[in-house]
Chain A
Amino acid sequence: MTSPLDQKIRITGPVVVTANRVGDGTVVYRRADGGWTTKLASAAVTTSATAARELIKQAAADDLRAVGPYIAPVKLTAAGELLPGNLREAIRLGGPTIDLPVTFGI
């Protein structure tokens, strides 16, 4: 497994550090205070490679709480709302784009 610390960091806009919670796999985001949150709005956002490197370094050291941390793009709306930066991240945050079978009614 490639260590997150070995991943190349290319930052072209605002980013957060995301991972999955160890116990149940839930998507989580790194907070500025060193904790994890399921709310993207509470994530630590940076546009600096240095700060991102530091965030991922701390996240990777927190292997007991979160698995597979990486840097993910986000978008900041004019109103200041934080949104996922691409479809993959939107699906991670919002769930599958389809109805699950139990809600689909079969």
Chain B
Amino acid sequence: MYVYDAFDRTLVAERVAEFRDQVARRLSGELTEEEFKPLRLMNGVYLQLHAYMLRVAIPYGTLSSAQLRRLAEVARKYDRGYGHFTTRQNLQFHWIKLEELPDAMAALAEAGLHGMQTSGNCVRNITTDQWAGVAPDELEDPRIWAELIRQHVTLHPEFSFMPRKFKIAVGSSLHDRAALRIHDLALRLHRNGAGESGFEVMVGGGLGRTPFLAKTIKPFLPKRDVLSYVEAVLRTYNQFGRRDNIYKARIKILVHELGVEAFAKEVEAEWQSIKDGALALDPGAASEIAGRFIYPDYKRLDDSPTMLTQARRADAGFDAWMINSVANHKVSGYAIVTLSLKPEGGTPGDATAAQMDAIADLADRYSFGEVRVGHEQNLTLPHVAQRDLHEVWRALNAIGVATPNVGLVSDIIACPGLDYCSLANARSIPIAQEITRRFSKLDLQRDLGRLHINISGCINACGHHHVGHIGILGVEKNGEEFYQITLGGKADSDAKLGTLIGPAVPYAKVADVVEDIAAAYLELRERPDELFIDTVKRLGVEPFRERVYAAR
């Protein structure tokens, strides 16, 4: 956990006071909506179909139990008793009243939470691997660097009015769990040939209307240079990014139109002029940040304690959950536990206040008071002693977050879609719900193996449909909801954009199509352990296209 200092606390408290004044002036008529809108957006306040929405930043997806409890309290007191965890490791309240927002924000601020830079053309919440600091395949904790950059770009005047929003992700593992290549700027910690650790720098990724995967412009950047190089990228984008057309304003378009080499050259020139200035990090800078992270005081425990082995033998449900939802921890005797927010028929990413409170209590009791949010819209208890796993499972099961479907077909990523969002063309959530019902049998889900479905209700792609193994995009045709289906996308270290398989299908047929695709995969795979995504890679989308459209 990172602990805010007095500076951070003051900044957040002052922002609440400022926003309280702005809201009062809006409600009194002193500010028009035109004047007020940019001010509310700077605090993560949107207007959706039914109500205002408040987006709360969860930097690098790390929450303390106290913060989660506070989110629950705000959900209960100022919203409708639940919150929605997003693909950007944030949380959204969908029923907030403007009149009550200052009080809700003040309550959040007391726990170090806020909505700053969760909207607007600035650097948004910096995301990372939800297993940061505990993953065995990690080089070092990427959150140190995410926090360093967060501090640098928070309310940075030069980067508060960029051509468009800017999303940064930091990763540090062999396996990319942070979807690095779909970010405007991604930093991957790794070692060079000399054994030094530094960053691979990737730019120009993003989904939406014109999807691109980020391209590497610096294979190895020494740590001392990370702030100056990030600044150089932001300045280059700020200078050359298009402001004349919102659809062409993201850095991905600039990188594409300029060419990655030319863009890298511009960044390099800017960087050379600032790299040895004030932004060059002294060796103690990262340690100072790291010093404000509180790491658990792990006990010395053995892996696979006898009681765990016995419980797995005695309880098939527990064993299934262990196989699916529990991962190895870098410290022996501990485990990483994923909490599925994808129950059959539920809304992906939603958690009730009661669930949040219960999870906060479990985090205190079993996970050193820490919870993580993943971009897959699930939660993680990052430090659970293996000897406690059976008890933890029983407790999670009791509150409906132990469905052993993590990474399987029913672990669907979906945006709120037309049920909430004013930008959406079509609904996402009921499509996800129907698919989970069609694949309710766990045996079938396990047989299908790892299979990621991503659903977006419009081309803005908040559900990351381009990188779903099966991607589903809602579009509107003559007032009706239709859905385009793509196959073969993925967001890991070997990221790829999916391929459209054919004409869009109507709302009522989407789940049928997914069933057809799954059935085709079961027939087409070479062996039971060939993953869906590997079958698509081997055969292309044609056999799936035939299967889907032959009957229609």
B313 adjacent to chain A (CB < 8 Å): no
Quick one: CB contact mask for A63-97 with B, threshold 8 Å, 1 for yes? 11001100000000000000000111001100111
B13 adjacent to chain A (CB < 8 Å): no
A91 and B346 form a contact (CB under 8 A): no
Chain B residues in 8 Å Cβ range of A24: 51-52, 97-99
A101 and B27 form a contact (CB under 8 A): no
B50 and A95 form a contact (CB under 8 A): yes
Interface of A is mostly: loop
Chain B residues in 8 Å Cβ range of A20: 47, 51
B481 and A104 form a contact (CB under 8 A): no
**Which stretch in B162-170, B189-197, B350-358 binds the other chain?**
B350-358
How far, in angstroms, from A80 to B249 measured CA to CA in the complex? 47
A100 and B80 form a contact (CB under 8 A): yes
A102 and B29 form a contact (CB under 8 A): no
Chain A residues in 8 Å Cβ range of B49: 27, 88, 91-92
A25 and B346 form a contact (CB under 8 A): no
Chain B residues in 8 Å Cβ range of A7: none
Known contacts A22-B26, A87-B418, A97-B427: does B347 contact A92 (CB below 8 Å)? Answer: no
B32 adjacent to chain A (CB < 8 Å): yes
B33 and A68 form a contact (CB under 8 A): yes
Q: How far is the CB of B424 from chain A (nearest CB, A)?
A: 8
How far, in angstroms, from A102 to B347 measured CA to CA in the complex? 11
**Chain A residue nearest in CB terms to B350:** A101
- The chain B residues found within 8 Å of chain A, CB to CB, are 26-27, 29, 32-34, 37, 47-52, 80-82, 96-99, 343, 345-347, 350-352, 355, 399-401, 418-420, 427, 429-430, 433, 479, 481
Please give 7 more A-B residue pairs, beta carbons under 8 A apart, in addition to A96-B50, A100-B82. Answer: A25-B50, A25-B51, A63-B29, A87-B481, A91-B49, A104-B345, A106-B350
Closest 4 CB pairs of A and B: A25-B51, A96-B419, A24-B97, A64-B29
A sample of 21 inter-chain contacts (CB < 8 A) reads A25-B48, A25-B50, A63-B29, A64-B29, A86-B479, A87-B418, A87-B479, A87-B481, A91-B418, A92-B49, A96-B419, A97-B430, A98-B419, A98-B433, A100-B82, A101-B82, A101-B347, A101-B350, A102-B81, A104-B346, A105-B400
